[in-house]
A and B are shown apart, each in its own frame.
Chain A
């Protein structure tokens, strides 16, 4: 108890300090672009509890989580196969490098052309951008599995399904999760970007629309909500990661 409280304090002192500074320096601010923090927090309470949470936050989160989960599923499956078949990997590596180097943002106009302005386009862009860390980490992890493990697989005649699901997937899991964590950040960023084009709702749309209407306080409230959501998602991710890695030797869990 005491230790975890102390840990929380260690983690939180800087944010608390910065928020305090922000609060003090912005009090009575007349600047159009940097309104008083107290006004922003008022707006957060009024706008996001709970009217816009339902109209904007919910659809945004749905798109983001769909895109992120699709990215993880696709990345893990493709990575398991590519990492297991070195010759296939050699054949597609140049294309992979090219595709990865292309920022997902650059795909946005094309995605809009092909898929229109709806949720499908947003999910597509998020998946496309977020798939790489998972895919590359999974590939590298599977390729790096100790040769002894490969020998165990073949010496004991372990069937293909078990090889993938019981040996390679769990062997790669710590690295897959490290990749997925990066993918989560990317998903949030791409969510916002994808909503800045022709969206009728969503938190990214809300921020941009507020800015265009000079509703600066509202805009800041959206930014703050986004930050808090991002932080909570990371907390949830870490909890999930710890649960998934509880069977692994301590030094392998993440960091």
Chain B
């Protein structure tokens, strides 16, 4: 993990296109180049994303923020391969992404929909591994993932017997056991209470440390993005592109109280807040960020 030691935040506008070809060097796990996306409308189409470009290094924690409706979910679905981008190219692990890939794991916002209620916790986590691994290896991975998220006592429960935070931990364990080098999360903690949210944030940081997976996480919560991210990517404009990238110089070990009371934390909060506010003003709508 490469963390800049300096305290200065490097903020650069993202419109500049990196000219070097993505060759799958180990320095870059994900390269997103000039990705654009159109949604069909009754009279033609609507361009939501245009020329979105950024990279993610292995093991890096990247948060994407931006005004509501700017296209955060859209870019994440493009990276997940769930929705092929209209233009541009997404490379994961060197290969151009053409559809869902075993290099990408996903945690959805709504755990109550993304988990199968009739399956036990362990079966939910094992579901994506059924045809990939033999039984012993599968069980080993499922157990390890459930241990990692602290649910080893609940392997036989049904998701609906657990609290919201525990259910989201099942979803995290499922993505973890999947073993992809890249983990995508779209507002994963939006539907849990503040205390649980803080626990899940720390859990995500620990999971990233232990597994070395890179994470791209979308959030509406500026504090959350600063607390979690090595780098924050701000989307803005209509159609949207990357309007800023901010390095977060806090290193891998963070603490809900001390990290959040660092002076740099406040500066970053102000910077991100201003960026999002300007972006949502230029979109002509109210930003839904707090």
A-side residues, CB < 8 A to B, are 146, 148-149, 151-152, 154-159, 162, 166-167, 170-171, 173, 247-249, 252
Contacts and interface: CB of A to CB of B under 8 A. Distances in A.
Contacts of A156: 100, 105-106, 127-128, 174, 178
21 contacts: A146-B113, A148-B108, A149-B113, A152-B106, A152-B108, A152-B114, A154-B82, A155-B82, A155-B104, A155-B105, A155-B106, A156-B100, A156-B106, A156-B127, A166-B119, A166-B127, A166-B130, A173-B118, A248-B118, A249-B117, A249-B158
Nearest to B115: A152
Nearest to A151: B82
Interface string B98-113: 0111101110101001
Interface string B236-277: 000000000000000000000000000000000000000000
Nearest to A156: B128
A170 to B, nearest CB: 5
B215 to A, nearest CB: 15
A43 to B, nearest CB: 47
Contacts of B113: 146, 148-149
Contact of B116 (A155, A159, A171, A252): A171
Nearest to A166: B127
B153 interface: no
Contacts of B100: 154-157
Nearest to A162: B130
Contacts of A171: 116, 118
A159 B118 contact: no
Main secondary structure of the interface of A (DSSP, over half): helix
Given A154-B100, A162-B130, A149 B178 contact: no
A170 B114 contact: no
A162 B106 contact: no
What are the 7 closest A-B residue pairs judged by CB atoms, nearest first?
A156-B128, A148-B113, A249-B160, A155-B106, A247-B118, A159-B131, A146-B113
Contacts of B122: none
Contacts, number: 67
A156 B100 CA distance: 7
B80 interface: yes
Nearest to A174: B118
Given A158-B127, A158-B128, A170 B116 contact: yes
A162 B158 contact: no
Interface residues of B, number: 26
Given A156-B105, A156-B174, 18 more contacts: A148-B108, A148-B114, A149-B113, A149-B116, A151-B114, A152-B108, A152-B114, A154-B81, A154-B99, A155-B80, A155-B82, A155-B105, A158-B130, A159-B131, A162-B127, A170-B119, A171-B118, A249-B117
Contacts of B82: 151, 154-155
B84 to A, nearest CB: 12
Contacts of B105: 155-156
Contacts of A170: 116, 118-119
B131 A151 contact: no
A153 B239 CA distance: 30
Contacts of B117: 247-249, 252
A167 B127 CA distance: 9
A149 to B, nearest CB: 7
B65 to A, nearest CB: 22
A201 B137 CA distance: 58
B120 to A, nearest CB: 8
Interface string B158-177: 10100000000000001000
Interface in B196-210: none
Nearest to B129: A156
Contacts of A149: 113-114, 116
